[in-house]
Structure formats: structure tokens, C-alpha cells
Amino acid sequence: MTLNHLSVLALWTCTVLVAGATPADDKPVAPVTLPVPAGTNSAPDLVLVKGRGLEIKRSQLDLAWAEFKKEAAGGGQEIAAADLPKYEPKLLNHLILVQLLQARATDADKAKGKAEAEERLAELKKQFHGDDMFTTMIKSAGLTPEGLLAQLTTEGVSHAVLRGLVKVAPDQVKKYFDEHQDEFSESEKVRASHILVGTRDPKTGSDLSDAEKQTKRALADDLLKRARAGEDFAKLAKQYSDDPGSKDSGGEYKFGRGEMMPEFEKAAFALKTNEVSEVVTTPYGYHVIKLSERFPGKSTEFAQVSAKIAEELGDQQIEKQFPQLYAQLRKEANVEFVDPKLKAADEAEALELAAALKAEQAAREESAALEHAKPAPAAPKAPNKP
């Protein structure tokens, strides 16, 4: 578990949605007040950070710390009390960031955040194959479905506000679309079934002897005759195929170019619908292939994906500009650390973050340079499929 300023993804349920406050003018803004955990002692609840429309007290930081430890424990990680000084600046900066972003949220930002949260929640439930398993898993992480939705909504609203702070020009979006056509098009695919008569020892993977291969070839020829005579191809595959990945489904695969062995692909794409191939030889053995269906290639229109591209480019800009964006938000709100120890820790945290971002950017640039220097492959490498 990490606290990542860039992604704004580790925002805890202790944060609160702020309705409608925007620091666009000089009108006073009421400070945001987060809930105080039950059982808090009667010691003075000192203000740690204050600013325009912002006030964070010790009780709020304590609650964030408690929630963080609880979430970490749910993931099998124990956070010791002695680690508090290390995490406090990060937690405090998250509380600051969340409040500043929520205070700037428009109705449109809130609607986007809610929609994004509901979409992400649905995706999570789908990954866990149903509500029961999903609920069990999030309970083990110390969350409830309602709490998780509130957290995701806060994250979504914050994300929407951040996207509004960066600008992506229309020509940048079009340029990305034009230069990444492979991301927005789908090549022709086919649905075909095959019967594999293997020529490798299933235990060792070594080739069979020539005599054994002749016997296997005779079986493949016989299966070809039976398939062309009209026998049920799926039944033949289930009974005779040596391909464990497809025999139970009648030997069926759906694939595009570059996904199968070259000999297999060439034969399959050359067939007409419901036509059965000659015996095709690959390093795996002898194949009898039947084509069931063709799926024409598709290309996506720019208008269908332009908004999504703009969002992704905006996210890249947020990542690159985050230190400046966060500093500007704090400056506009006149954020002031009241506690001198936390102020010093915050300054050290800022230096640490800047150094980490610089190293990360250098690593990305080095990786991009190495990738650019690689020679283009002569042909796509087919996966290890029959």
C-alpha cells in the first residue's frame, strides 16, 4: 500500500464532499470540517493547517491515520505506531488536497465524479463475480459498500477538478489519434475450429520418431476425409484432438493475424466459410481446420474517441504538472501550517516528492529513448499456439 500524490487514488472515507464552494472570488468561504472519530478524548483539538476555506484539526489527522492503518491491515500490512512521523505529512497533504479540490468542484465535476465512481464500483463487482464475494473482500479490507462508493466518488470528483486545471488542445488530441491508429482499429478476425494430431511426446515435448509421425499423418488424413464427408467437426475434435486448449470446445478459436503459427494462420484465412482445409503441418503436428465465420476489420471514427483521448492526455498533463498544480492550489488558498513540526515535515515531504518525480521522469525518458532505438521487427511474433 502506498500514498501516491500523483494519482489522487488513496483518498480515504474520512474525507467529506463539500457542496458548491469555489475560491474564484474574495468572498469568505466556510472552512471544511471533517468528522471527529468517536471516543476522542477531551484534549484540545488543535488546528494544524488553515487557509481560505480550509481548516484541518488534529482529530481529523488522527482519523485519517486510523483509517489508513485499518485499510493497511485489511491488505495484510501492519503499520506500527512508530511509523506515524513518516506517514503524517503524506496523510496531511491528502487531506489538504482533497479539501482544496472538493471546494473547487462544480456541479458538472460532481456529476462526473459520481458517474465515474458508479462505473468503477460496477467493474470491481464484476471482477469478484458477484455481490457476495465483493462484499466479503471489501469487508476484509475494513470497508463497506457504501463507504467504498463514497471514497470512489470523492476520488472521481477530485479527478474531475484536476482535469479542469489542465488544458489539452484539440490539435493534440487529433495528433494522438493519427499517430496511434493501431489503438483505434481492429484487424480482420476469423472463427475457426481445428483438430490437432500431435507429433510431440506429451510428457517430454520432444518430436516423435518418423515412423510414429507417419502413423499420426495417416490419422490426420482419415479425419480430413471424415470431416469433408460431413461428420460433426466438433465431435471429431473432442474425440481426437491433442490440443487441450480447444478440444473441449470443439477445437474452436477466434483470432486475428499474427496470433497463430504462420502455417496455421495462412491456411485458416484462405478458407471459405464452412470449408475444411487440407492437412496443415506445424511444429505441433498435423491440423485439420474448418472455418466457421469471418469478422471484418473495424476502424473507429475520431469523434467516437476524441473525448476519451482528451481525458487520457489530460491525465498525463496532471502527472507531469502535479507539483506545480498542487503548489498553486495551496497558494490560492493561503494554506498555512500552524504546527511548526508539521511545517518542517511538509517541506521535507515536498523535496522528497520533487526528487521522486524527477527520477521517475528521467526513467521514462530513458525508457522511451531505448524503445525508439530498437530496430523494427521484420514480422510480428506469433504466440505459442497451435
Strands (DSSP E) contained in the chain are 47-51, 54-57, 185-186, 189-198, 252-256, 280-282, 285-295, 298-299, 336-337
Q: Return contacts of 373-380, CB within 8 angstroms, 24+ apart.
A: 380/257, 380/258
Has residue 2 got a pLDDT over 70? no
Tally of residues, the chain: 386
User: What pLDDT score was predicted for residue 375?
Assistant: 52
User: With bands split at pLDDT 50, 70 and 90, how would you rate the model's confidence at 27?
Assistant: very low
| Average pLDDT of the chain to the nearest whole number | 83
Is there a contact between 72 and 78 (Cβ–Cβ < 8 Å)?
Answer: yes
Q: In this predicted model, what pLDDT tens digit does every residue of 138-164 receive, in sequence order? A: 887 777 888 889 989 999 999 999 999
Mean pLDDT of 4-25: 32
Mean pLDDT of 267-275: 96
In this prediction, residues 333-353 reach a mean pLDDT of 87
- pLDDT at residue 386 is higher than 60: no
SS3 (DSSP) at 55: strand
Does pLDDT of 21 surpass 90? no
Q: Tell me, what's the pLDDT at 25?
A: 38
Classify 26 as helix, strand or coil: coil
Task: Output the CA torsion sign for 268, 271, 275, 278.
Answer: negative
State pLDDT tens for residues 288-298: 999 999 999 88
CB 110 within 8 A of CB 154: no
Instruction: Quote the radius of gyration of the chain (alpha carbons, Å).
Output: 30
pTM for this prediction: 0.57
Per the CB < 8 A criterion, the answer to whether 267 and 277 are in contact is yes
pLDDT tens by residue, 29-45: 333 334 444 444 556 78
Distance CA 265, CA 277 (A): 12
User: What integer pLDDT is reported at residue 70 of this predicted model?
Assistant: 82
pLDDT tens-digit readout, 370-383:
766 655 433 333 44
pLDDT in tens, 73-113: 877 888 888 888 888 889 999 999 999 999 999 999 999 99
Q: Tell me: the pLDDT tens digits for 54-79?
A: 999 999 999 989 888 887 887 788 88
Domains of the chain: 47-173+303-373 (1.10.4030), 188-296 (3.10.50.40)
The predicted structure's pLDDT at residue 36? 42
**What are the distances in angstroms from CA 55 to CA 92, 98, 291, 335, 336?**
11, 12, 68, 9, 10
